[in-house]
């Protein structure tokens, strides 16, 4: 019996339940990754992401060849490629991990399921995280996730019976229609890079994690930086969870133990937000609460200025330029970028979300679109948070190092005026643009509009239904995520957890 093992966002051999199942099912295994042109043509895909994936595939190919099953990389539509492989190798089983993605990946999987049923191929989909399919309510979700996490990591098979030789059709970003996207300081892909980061975080960098994660400079060092490896699956959530717990157990009381507790907690919140997209795969297309539909408009000039880091708001522009250059940004600054776009610039999150998705090497659809709506105030269950970008710059970059690094045109501005250069007497000599909005006035206008919706008659009933479907009792660390009665009464939100500060 031959089994096709379909790799997607799980580019590793270690702790790979689907690989373990494939080894059990059949005498022969065909590992395959499909570079899908339609997937990479989506507005949330970018060359920086593909280059991370390509490096990870090269490393995965080496690992699979070492256990006797060469990796095949094919280019095309998934159902068609799988159909050809099944016919060529006489495959009767298809194994993959469950994937939580946007409506596009949901529809793609429906096409694969339809082909498999017609062809008589049995498709086994295996969970690789705490995200669960077909949930009717979030009550009990955290306990089930904890049970899954407590299981031992899946042991890689020592040997597989591979079929044929490896087939490598590794496309270049240009072959996938992806535009110019240099990202010179992008994190490298591959499992070894992820393991190196995990080791240095647990033994060296992570001690100041809790305090440093809020700042763009401190967070870049003290955060684990595992997010792209978790997003593309070169490391598993369960591996990271077990490693964090082990380090917490051996650490003395103080910074290290608190840091590891925060790390494990944020892994739980990662699954919490991904579950939202699993339960509503069109979350990237519609406001979770329908009362917010049509609230915001479009403004091409404002959108372009925001995307290019040319809004005239120094800390906003520094964060965007840093993201463009590196592919990563700490969560507080990500949230600020979304909030400024959604409130001060009054742009629809569906216009700004694709740009940020493309810029993030660690783009994870479940977290991204949940957070886009949460930080834009369109969920109906989270209290709107309107960040003041001037105050954020003053607090998170008090010495101006980050802002000056990414905005060299402000080199001559004194520290006291760095976040408000328009107030500096020498502002007319700057090549930096004036602010495109008045920060205080724009925030007041946005607050009035948002709260007018929340006070409307239609808001309350739908908010209660959203809470019933999307709120979880506990987050896996013992703390309440959402008290349903309190949320229904006051529309309170869970804490602003740093879902990407991993």
**Model confidence over 66-107: pLDDT tens digits?**
999 999 999 999 999 999 999 999 999 999 999 999 999 999
pLDDT at 353 over 70: yes
- Which of the four pLDDT bands, split at 50, 70 and 90, describes residue 484? very low
Q: Output the six-digit token pair for 280.
A: 């509503």
Q: Residue 381's pLDDT is what?
A: 83
Domain boundaries, the chain: 2-128, 191-278, 290-490
Rounded mean pLDDT of the chain? 91
Direct distance between the N- and C-terminal alpha carbons of the chain, in angstroms, rounded to an integer: 41
Q: Residue 100's pLDDT is what?
A: 95
The share of the chain scoring above pLDDT 90, in percent, equals: 84
Superfamily of domain 2-128: HUPs (3.40.50.620)
CATH classification number, 290-490, choose in 1.10.600.10, 3.40.50.1820, 2.60.40.10, 1.10.579.10? 1.10.579.10
Q: Residue 193's pLDDT is what?
A: 98
Q: Write out pLDDT tens, residues 18-36.
A: 999 999 997 899 999 999 9
Report which of residues 92 and 495 the model is more confident about: 92
Q: Residue 380's pLDDT is what?
A: 87
The share of the chain scoring above pLDDT 70, in percent, equals: 93
Q: pTM to 2 decimals?
A: 0.93
Q: Output the six-digit token pair for 86.
A: 């099944």
Mean pLDDT of 259-272: 94
* Alpha helices (runs of H) in 223-254, residue ranges in sequence order: 227-232, 237-250
CA–CA distance from 195 to each of 59, 76, 117, 153, 245 (Å)? 13, 31, 39, 15, 16
Answer yes or no: same fold for 2-128 and 191-278. Answer: no
pLDDT at 306 over 50: yes
pLDDT at 488 over 70: no
pLDDT at 473 over 50: no
Mean pLDDT of 460-465: 78
- Which of the four pLDDT bands, split at 50, 70 and 90, describes residue 471? low
Mean pLDDT of 138-148: 89
pLDDT at 467 over 70: yes
Report which of residues 123 and 473 the model is more confident about: 123
Arch. (CATH architecture) of 191-278: Alpha Horseshoe (1.25)
**Cβ contacts of 89 within 8 Å, gap of 6 or more:** 2, 4, 28, 30, 163, 164
pLDDT at 438 over 60: yes
Q: Residue 472's pLDDT is what?
A: 53
Alpha carbon distance 494, 492 (integer Å)? 7
């Amino acid at each position: 019996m031959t089994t096709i093992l379909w790799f997607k966002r799980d580019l590793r051999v270690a702790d790979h339940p689907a690989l373990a199942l494939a080894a059990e099912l059949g005498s022969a295994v065909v590992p395959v990754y499909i570079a899908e042109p339609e997937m990479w043509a989506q507005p949330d895909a970018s060359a920086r992401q593909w280059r991370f994936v390509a490096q990870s595939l090269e490393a995965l190919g080496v690992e699979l060849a070492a256990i006797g099953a060469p990796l095949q990389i094919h280019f095309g539509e998934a159902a068609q490629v799988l159909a050809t492989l099944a016919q060529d190798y006489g495959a009767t089983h298809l194994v993959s991990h469950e994937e939580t993605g946007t409506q596009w990946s949901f529809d793609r999987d429906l096409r694969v399921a339809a082909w498999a049923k017609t062809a008589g191929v049995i498709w086994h989909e295996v969970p690789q995280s705490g995200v669960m399919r077909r949930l009717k309510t979030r009550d009990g979700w955290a306990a089930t996730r904890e049970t899954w996490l407590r299981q031992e990591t899946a042991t890689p098979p020592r040997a597989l019976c591979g079929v044929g030789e490896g087939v490598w059709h590794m496309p270049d970003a240009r072959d996938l229609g992806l535009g110019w996207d240099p990202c010179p300081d992008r994190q490298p892909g591959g499992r070894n890079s992820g393991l190196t980061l995990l080791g240095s975080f647990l033994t060296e960098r992570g001690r100041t994690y809790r305090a440093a994660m809020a700042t763009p400079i401190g967070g870049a060092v003290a955060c684990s930086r595992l997010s792209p490896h978790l997003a593309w699956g070169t490391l598993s959530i369960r591996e990271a969870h077990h490693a964090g717990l082990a380090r917490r157990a051996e650490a003395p009381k103080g910074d290290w133990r608190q840091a590891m507790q925060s790390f494990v907690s944020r892994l739980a919140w990662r699954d919490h937000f991904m579950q939202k997209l699993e339960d509503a795969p069109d979350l990237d297309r519609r406001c979770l609460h329908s009362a917010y539909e049509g609230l915001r408009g479009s403004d091409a000039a404002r959108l372009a200025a925001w995307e290019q880091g040319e809004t005239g708001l120094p800390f906003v522009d520094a964060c965007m330029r840093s993201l463009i250059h590196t592919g990563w940004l700490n969560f507080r600054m990500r949230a600020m970028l979304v909030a400024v776009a959604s409130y001060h610039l009054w742009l629809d999150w569906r216009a700004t979300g694709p740009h940020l998705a493309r810029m993030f090497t660690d783009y994870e659809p479940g977290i991204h679109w949940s957070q886009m709506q949460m930080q834009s105030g369109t969920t109906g269950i989270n209290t709107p948070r309107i960040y003041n970008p001037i105050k954020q710059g003053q607090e998170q970059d008090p010495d101006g190092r980050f802002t000056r690094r990414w905005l060299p045109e402000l080199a001559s501005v004194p520290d006291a005026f760095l976040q408000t250069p328009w107030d500096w007497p020498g502002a007319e000599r700057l090549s930096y643009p004036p602010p495109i909005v008045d920060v205080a006035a724009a925030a007041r206008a946005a607050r009035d509009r948002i709260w007018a919706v929340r006070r409307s008659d239609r808001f309350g009933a739908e908010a209660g239904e959203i809470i019933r479907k999307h709120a979880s009792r506990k987050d896996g660390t013992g703390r309440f995520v959402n008290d349903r009665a309190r949320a229904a009464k006051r529309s309170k939100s869970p804490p602003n957890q740093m879902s990407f500060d991993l």
